[in-house]
A and B are shown apart, each in its own frame.
Chain A
């Protein structure tokens, strides 16, 4: 057994190291990823062991980071780029959306763009403006990109390996407030597909669907609900593009109720898509409308208000109660 308990941050670091050992074409690029090891230390020690040619400290220019990563991918490399914080991805948004996402199709499949864009995202760490956003819907909406977010150490380890192996560009959302959460990582396990959702907890009365940082919140909600005699199933979506609707559907056909939870604003968010599709697929199984819990249609608030903005145990349980009341 090669199972070790480690925090998500360490799992990501270990995964990147493994990918670099396995494939000399894998490169790491970003601001401060070298000596510092990244502001969250996800790339800690990698430059020391793989050199400045493979762990590349870049100028402070996000469009440049993604744009040059595209060129490197065209040359046969597999760049993994770090965007320092969610709110800083927008200078690179043009390169990601107009170039990275579309080039494979424009070349009629003749070129591949195996670029991973790592984004430490979402809130809960008391940061200043632009350091706590959840822009995943903006990327999931773009055809040509895949978007994933792990919720635990094992997924962090394996999903990163799979994202790097993918010939498609993957936007890899890392739940920064869970970086220090520990979990078992079996580095010899055979992982499921990158985009398969996972039933994190079995239940019979209602399904909670979430990804990334909200999975833990939903598991806690399920535990609290269990104390009140309610049996909640928790589906960890793991991927926002594509969404594994089949797994959510199976769960909803069993429970008859669905609440989707994410930190991003509810309006036009991932939850809206899940609600619409599951309503289409499970119309006759649903005992209640699909409800969504998430952020508001307001800028991410200053740190002293983020506990009010972010879905917490109470807000999730409130939605559960409303769904069960139908």
Chain B
């Protein structure tokens, strides 16, 4: 069940750890790299359904079709946003291309009362939470710095500083536990974030307080131009052991496995067993953001190898083979995608620039004398132009 890409990577990754190094010093030539631990996988890249002893899952045909729909629509939305950036409608876009299974699978494992703390690439998770897709685009268009009510869908604002949200998720989960609620919290972050102190501190706090939080790391192999090897000398999921909670690596391109594993992790959190780390082993097929140029640091062959493991393709193959989806269904999803993309495109283009006075709004909940003073002065300044215009117009009238 070992996935090809994993095996390939294991050749370059050396196992870390002091003990290991000590023994390696004695017998330098021996010590073959420890076999890469197997990914949890339920659907092979060829679209074959396989079983895993710990993570069984049984989905109805409708649920399976639903996952397919989620992934296709998310990919279409992502492509549309990328196009909108190229057309100058968005200042920046962080594409999720290739990570649909990790996001849809994990997000569909959540209950409505669970709470999500995303980074800035969780467009598929947002989709599953019912956040209108266009809401995600305001910050990328530059009309706001977030712009939605996190409590409407229990989906927190996108967080740009890497790893900060892992602590917010942990604190929120500590609150959930205090409230005696049986909901769970999930924090999304990438392989790069695993190097951040905040993520390590979140691991510490969550373990110490047994907080009901799931850490969902999408290891998409690259933190802009830095490979995972630059972040960690051990597989990321293994780090959890050092903090005292379980970690598991799942095939991040397998939506069924991501769903099953996240479900188990969330249930575990909900039943008071504390945090868990899920490392979804996946691949960012596109650039880090639209400002990035991956041709400078990675080879085409790598992407091609991962394309063979495309999350959408493999589910589609499975659905077709098992006669769970016919051509009409697949066509209807494509049509729905185009309609959604058109709606998003129109919504983005219709987004007005914010009123200049919006700068002063919501800086403080209780108000602040300096903000009041500057707002007043700026309003007068703006009004001074209006007076000129009015008097000019009045002059013309006479």
A residues with CB within 8 A of B: 53, 58-59, 61, 63-64, 66-77, 91, 94-95, 98-99, 102-113, 143-144, 146, 166-168, 195, 241-245
Is the C-beta of B19 less than 8 angstroms from some C-beta in chain A? no
**Chain B hits for A68, CB < 8 A:** 167-168, 170-171, 174, 202, 205
Q: Map CB proximity to A onto B359-377 as digits: 1 under 8 Å, 0 otherwise.
A: 0011111101111000000
Q: Map CB proximity to A onto B158-178 as digits: 1 under 8 Å, 0 otherwise.
A: 010100101111111111101
Chain B min CB distance to A85 (Å): 19
Q: Is the CB of B149 within 8 A of A107?
A: yes
| Nearest opposing residue in chain A for B159, CB measure | A99
Chain A min CB distance to B390 (Å): 29
Q: Is the CB of B368 within 8 A of A146?
A: yes
Q: Is the CB of B164 within 8 A of A99?
A: yes
Q: Is the CB of A110 within 8 A of B178?
A: no
- Bound-state Cα–Cα, A152 to B181, Å: 42
Is the C-beta of B6 less than 8 angstroms from some C-beta in chain A? no
**Chain A hits for B391, CB < 8 A:** none
Q: Is the CB of B363 within 8 A of A105?
A: yes
Chain A min CB distance to B124 (Å): 21
Say which residue of B169, B179, B197 sits within 8 Å of A63 (CB atoms): B197
Q: Is the CB of B363 within 8 A of A144?
A: yes
Q: Is the CB of A76 within 8 A of B365?
A: no
Q: Is the CB of B201 within 8 A of A63?
A: yes
A-B contact pairs, 10 of them (CB 8 A): A61-B204, A71-B173, A104-B365, A105-B363, A106-B146, A108-B146, A109-B361, A110-B148, A110-B151, A241-B370
**Chain B hits for A146, CB < 8 A:** 364, 368
Chain A min CB distance to B218 (Å): 20
Q: Is the CB of A71 within 8 A of B170?
A: yes
| Nearest opposing residue in chain B for A64, CB measure | B201
Is the C-beta of B65 less than 8 angstroms from some C-beta in chain A? no
The B124-152 residues at the A interface (CB cut-off 8 A) are 144-152
Q: Tell me whether A107 and B208 are in contact in the complex, defined as CB-CB below 8 angstroms, given that A64-B198, A72-B172, A144-B364 are known contacts.
A: no
Shortest beta-carbon contacts, A-B, top 3: A71-B171, A67-B167, A75-B175
**Chain A hits for B152, CB < 8 A:** 110
Chain B min CB distance to A106 (Å): 3
Q: Name the residue among A70, A74, A102, A112 with the largest chain B CB count within 10 angstroms.
A: A74
- Bound-state Cα–Cα, A143 to B360, Å: 10
Q: Is the CB of B178 within 8 A of A64?
A: no
Q: Is the CB of B370 within 8 A of A104?
A: no
Is the C-beta of B259 less than 8 angstroms from some C-beta in chain A? no
**Chain A hits for B176, CB < 8 A:** 75
Other A-B pairs, 17, CB within 8 Å; known A67-B202, A75-B174, A104-B365? A63-B201, A64-B167, A67-B171, A71-B169, A75-B171, A98-B161, A98-B164, A105-B145, A106-B144, A106-B145, A108-B149, A108-B362, A109-B365, A110-B150, A112-B365, A168-B365, A241-B368
Q: Is the CB of B368 within 8 A of A242?
A: yes
**Chain A hits for B175, CB < 8 A:** 71-72, 74-77
Q: Is the CB of A242 within 8 A of B365?
A: no
Q: Is the CB of A109 within 8 A of B362?
A: yes
Q: Is the CB of A67 within 8 A of B168?
A: yes
The B345-398 residues at the A interface (CB cut-off 8 A) are 361-366, 368-371
**Chain A hits for B164, CB < 8 A:** 67, 94-95, 98-99
| Nearest opposing residue in chain A for B208, CB measure | A59
- Bound-state Cα–Cα, A22 to B244, Å: 37
| Nearest opposing residue in chain B for A245, CB measure | B369
**Chain A hits for B365, CB < 8 A:** 104, 109, 112-113, 166-168
Say which residue of A70, A167, A241 sits within 8 Å of B171 (CB atoms): A70
Q: Is the CB of A167 within 8 A of B167?
A: no
Q: Is the CB of A107 within 8 A of B148?
A: yes
Tally of contact residues, B, Cβ under 8 A: 45
- Bound-state Cα–Cα, A174 to B231, Å: 39
Q: Tell me whether A53 and B366 are in contact in the complex, defined as CB-CB below 8 angstroms, given that A59-B201, A70-B168, A98-B161 are known contacts.
A: no
- Bound-state Cα–Cα, A143 to B173, Å: 28
- Bound-state Cα–Cα, A169 to B347, Å: 34
Chain B min CB distance to A235 (Å): 15
Chain B min CB distance to A170 (Å): 10
**Chain B hits for A241, CB < 8 A:** 368, 370
Is the C-beta of B92 less than 8 angstroms from some C-beta in chain A? no
Is the C-beta of B156 less than 8 angstroms from some C-beta in chain A? yes
Q: Name the residue among B161, B171, B176 with the largest chain A CB count within 10 angstroms.
A: B171
- Bound-state Cα–Cα, A56 to B20, Å: 38
- Bound-state Cα–Cα, A32 to B166, Å: 23
Q: Is the CB of A95 within 8 A of B362?
A: no
- Bound-state Cα–Cα, A107 to B370, Å: 21
Is the C-beta of B157 less than 8 angstroms from some C-beta in chain A? yes
| Nearest opposing residue in chain B for A196, CB measure | B369
- Bound-state Cα–Cα, A75 to B208, Å: 19
Q: Is the CB of B369 within 8 A of A244?
A: yes
**Chain B hits for A58, CB < 8 A:** 205
Q: Name the residue among A76, A111, A166 with the largest chain B CB count within 10 angstroms.
A: A111
- Bound-state Cα–Cα, A103 to B147, Å: 10
Q: Is the CB of B366 within 8 A of A74?
A: no
**Chain B hits for A111, CB < 8 A:** 149-151
- Bound-state Cα–Cα, A111 to B115, Å: 14
Chain B min CB distance to A27 (Å): 8
**Chain A hits for B179, CB < 8 A:** 75
- Bound-state Cα–Cα, A59 to B167, Å: 13
- Bound-state Cα–Cα, A189 to B167, Å: 39
Q: Is the CB of A63 within 8 A of B364?
A: no
Chain B min CB distance to A99 (Å): 5
Q: Is the CB of A107 within 8 A of B157?
A: yes
Say which residue of B117, B156, B166, B370 sits within 8 Å of A243 (CB atoms): B370
Chain B min CB distance to A110 (Å): 4
- Bound-state Cα–Cα, A110 to B145, Å: 13
Chain B min CB distance to A265 (Å): 22
Q: Tell me whether A71 and B150 are in contact in the complex, defined as CB-CB below 8 angstroms, given that A105-B363, A167-B365 are known contacts.
A: no
Q: Is the CB of A64 within 8 A of B368?
A: no
- Bound-state Cα–Cα, A102 to B160, Å: 12
**Chain B hits for A91, CB < 8 A:** 197
Chain A min CB distance to B155 (Å): 11
Say which residue of A64, A77, A107 sits within 8 Å of B205 (CB atoms): A64
Q: Is the CB of A103 within 8 A of B178?
A: no
| Nearest opposing residue in chain B for A98, CB measure | B161
